[in-house]
Amino acid sequence: MRKKAETSVDLHPILAERWSPRSFDGNSTISAVDLTAMLEAARWAPSSNNGQPWRFVVAKRGEYEFSKMIDLLAGFNQIWTPKAVALIMVATKTMNEDGSNRGSALYDAGLAASLLTVEAHHRGFVVRQMGGFDRAAAVTAFELQEGIAPIVILAIGKQAPAESLQDPTLVEREIADRTRIPLQDLIVGGSI
Ligand SMILES: Cc1cc2nc3c(=O)[nH]c(=O)nc-3n(C[C@H](O)[C@H](O)[C@H](O)COP(=O)(O)O)c2cc1C
């Protein structure tokens, strides 16, 4: 299913066509090259002072870590994620080396996740981000070092037809239109 963004001018096809499905093919696999490429894309994201605060926990379907990550998810997210081919938890270093607060940590990690998503779509995969998980439990479950805070879990998969979600609420959401705030409402200063 496609949900091309309605834009006032043409965008790069990956940006126009990208959206966040929940319906994945549970038989799909992912190669080490594809997974590495996604993480390389994230690795080469820009960051404040080139601080690169992002850290990742990678789990492929069938691995123990995959079910461990699913256990951390909110109930609604647990319904559709088992068919993902991989789950990647994005975390970030919250402190600078001198112990001061790393103000751009979330921004930097978001940029990394964003580039990962673009590379994934370029390689024929789709990504849905999830904030609905137990962050405190994630720290314990994956023994994250002090100062490394989990932010999102990315569900990566091969897209399947909406109907394969089975759950009527999920199917309804899968086929719903994508909406955005009008561009002019986002420009709060200056003009195009
Ligand atoms: C930080 C963040 C947290 C999100 N949490 C969830 C989530 O817990 N479960 C879910 O199904 N989608 C989640 N989403 C996906 C958004 O709902 C989705 O990206 C948004 O509706 C826009 O849809 P689109 O990506 O298809 O354009 C999250 C997205 C972001 C960026």
pLDDT of 76-115, one tens digit each?
A: 999 999 999 999 999 999 999 899 999 999 999 999 999 9
Cα distance between residue 12 and residue 185, in whole Å = 22
- Testing ligand 1's pocket by substitution, the residue of 11, 20, 69, 114 carrying the most ligand atoms inside 8 A of its CB is 20
pTM (predicted TM-score): 0.98
Ligand 1 pocket mutation, candidates 2, 117, 128, 167, criterion most atoms within 8 A of CB: 128
Tell me the C-alpha distance between 67 and 60, whole Å: 9
- Give the pLDDT of residue 162: 97
Q: What's the rounded mean pLDDT across residues 20-32? A: 98
Position 72: which residue type?
A: L
Query: What is the chain's mean pLDDT, rounded?
Result: 97
How far apart, in whole angstroms, are the C-alpha atoms of residue 73 and residue 134? 6
Q: How far apart are CA 157 and CA 60, in angstroms?
A: 10
CATH 1.10.8.60 fits 17-163, yes or no: no
pLDDT of residue 133: 98
SS3 95: strand
**pLDDT of the residue at 148:** 98
Residue 11: pLDDT band with limits 50, 70, 90:
very high
CB 149 within 8 A of CB 94: yes
**In the Cβ-directed half-sphere of 115, how many Cα atoms lie within 13 Å?**
17
